[in-house]
Amino acid sequence: MKKYLKKFVEARVRNMVAGLFLPAVLLMLCVFCGGCSKQPQEYRSVDTVMGTIFRQQIFVTESNEATENITGEITACVRALETDHLSRRIDGTEIFHVNALAGQKQKISGELFHILEQCETVKAASGGAFDVSIGTLVSLWDIDAWAKEQEGFVPPQEDAIATCLEVMEAESLWLQDGMVCVPEGMQLDLGAVGKGAALDRVKLFLEENPRVSGAVISAGGSILTYGSKPDGSHWKVAIVDPFDSAQTIGILTLDGQWCVSTSGDYERYVEAEGERYHHILDPHSGRPADSHIKSVTILAKDGLLSDALSTACFVLGVEKGMKLAEYFQVEVLFVNEAGELFMTEGMQQYFRKL
Ligand code: AMP
Ligand code: MG
């Protein structure tokens, strides 16, 4: 009995020591490891690219000399997309040449070919509500020159609009074997997808940099979230109130990589004789889209798709826009002229109204 009691006491003491010792060792390990693992370094920058504000917040683990200029490299990469490929106003870009040599087949870069292919897919699926061969109409409305508080704007004549529409209805873009041909009288304008395409470029850049643990990048109305925050919390993306662009109507709570694009009538507009004209044109009427929408937000994995679809859904309105979003398996949120919100079921799990 005594022997048994001794064993029992020894076992209790052993258990107590283990009970005290183990947690202490674990605590020391945690403190030690916590001391070793450095918090990611944060880099921030604000630039003007593609005629809009370009904001970056990037988290880098094990920062070194190579990562010091990471925001500068990303800005340069996006600027090059604009100045080498997409801008139709900069002499020397691919699009500038394609437009200048309308009527002729031209070899283009793989990147531009891929962008145009995706645009043509969205054009077909949207019944032509989205159409990057809208360049002559954009010029006719002089959208690029619109400025706040602009006076003396005169909307284009009906017959001039009709001439643009005739070409757009009769002709279409030819795209094959790495070549493009814009019919004469037609011009390409990639204003509706430039920022989304930029986010896709940034996404590729980040994927090739394993030191980047997380990032949030915004180019105007398009935002990319990537990886995770150092504290493990979710990314929060504010959705602008289209009735007062200094305010937000709600927040998207996102985990990992997403692209969010918003198209709204508040982004670019001009007023004349009590009438307000915004920058999203209906390619069937040749006039600013009259779909009773104030803004559309798309949530997708792909930048170009989210940007193209926000423009397309704005033109289509709630009913047809919802169908288009479902077709591409993306989430959409509409705000109509009455301030009502409509969204896909999937969007409800990310969006919180404020
Ligand atoms: P977003 O702000 O992304 O909706 O793009 C609007 C810009 O795309 C305009 O400033 C025009 O340059 C161009 N655009 C306007 N309407 C359309 C349309 N229906 N399809 C394609 N591009 C358009
Ligand atoms: Mg767009």
Structural tokens at position 350:
């990310």
pLDDT at 34: 43
Of 306, 298, 292, the residue nearest 344 (C-alpha): 298
**What is the pLDDT, as a whole number, of residue 311?**
98
Q: What is the pLDDT of residue 4?
A: 46
* pLDDT at position 22: 52
Q: Is 259 in the pocket of ligand 1 (CB under 6 A)?
A: no
Ligand 1: residue of 134, 143, 144 to mutate (most ligand atoms within 8 A of CB) is: 134
Q: Is 132:190 a contact under the CB 8 Å cutoff?
A: yes
Cα–Cα dist 322/229, whole Å = 32
Q: Which of 268, 279, 293, 316 to mutate to test the pocket of ligand 1 (most atoms within 8 A of CB)?
A: 279
b/e map of 303-331 (b: 16 or more CB within 10 Å)? bbbbbbbbbbbbbbbbebbbebbeebebb
Does the beta carbon of 143 lie inside 6 Å of ligand 1? yes
Task: Indicate if ligand 1 lies below 6 Å from the C-beta of 280.
Answer: yes
Each of the 354 residues of the chain gets a pLDDT tens digit; together they read 444 444 444 545 455 545 555 555 544 544 444 444 578 999 999 999 999 999 999 999 988 887 889 999 999 999 999 999 999 999 999 999 999 999 999 999 999 999 999 999 999 999 999 999 999 999 999 999 898 777 889 999 999 999 999 999 999 999 999 999 999 999 999 999 999 999 999 999 999 999 999 999 999 999 999 999 999 999 999 999 999 999 999 999 999 999 999 999 999 999 988 899 999 999 999 999 999 999 999 999 999 999 999 999 999 999 999 999 999 999 999 999 999 999 999 999 999 999
What global pTM score does this model have?
0.89
Decide: 132 in ligand 1 pocket, CB within 6 A: yes
